[in-house]
Amino acid sequence: MSQDFIRVKDMEGTLLLSHKNGNLGCTVTTKEIIFQRPHCSYHILFKDIISMIPHSLNTKRMTFMTSNNPTEKVKTQFSSNYYKIVADKVRVYRRSGIYENGETDFIVPLHKLFLNYFAKYTDLTVVG
């Protein structure tokens, strides 16, 4: 785990899943989800989530040439599994302290495994 991530010690539920990938971390318990990026963590209780809908990013694929081999090309593509989560209240952890924000929108990449936990532990209704 990156030392730049701020740990959230006030978790209310039982840990179900935690995943860190580069500069993004996500932890799910039976009562909350925590998003982490360097120097900032967002703690959202399931009861404070208003909605969660699929979101597509309008991005282009990019191609890079490697410096060691000019004929080798690396293609990038952003994940298509992005979701927009709207929360009524969010606790924000920064190096300077802990703050509460009102209604906040997040656009985050989530694996299907996380969605299964959302369906099981939140009061959200799955549509479609």
What is the b/e burial string over 59-76, where b = at least 16 CB atoms within 10 angstroms of the residue's CB?
eeeeeeeeeeeeeeeeee
For residues 51-55, give the mean pLDDT: 88
9-49: pLDDT as tens digits: 888 889 998 888 778 888 999 999 999 988 899 999 999 99
How confident is residue 86, by pLDDT bands cut at 50, 70 and 90?
A: very high
How confident is residue 4, by pLDDT bands cut at 50, 70 and 90?
A: confident
For residues 61-71, give the mean pLDDT: 60
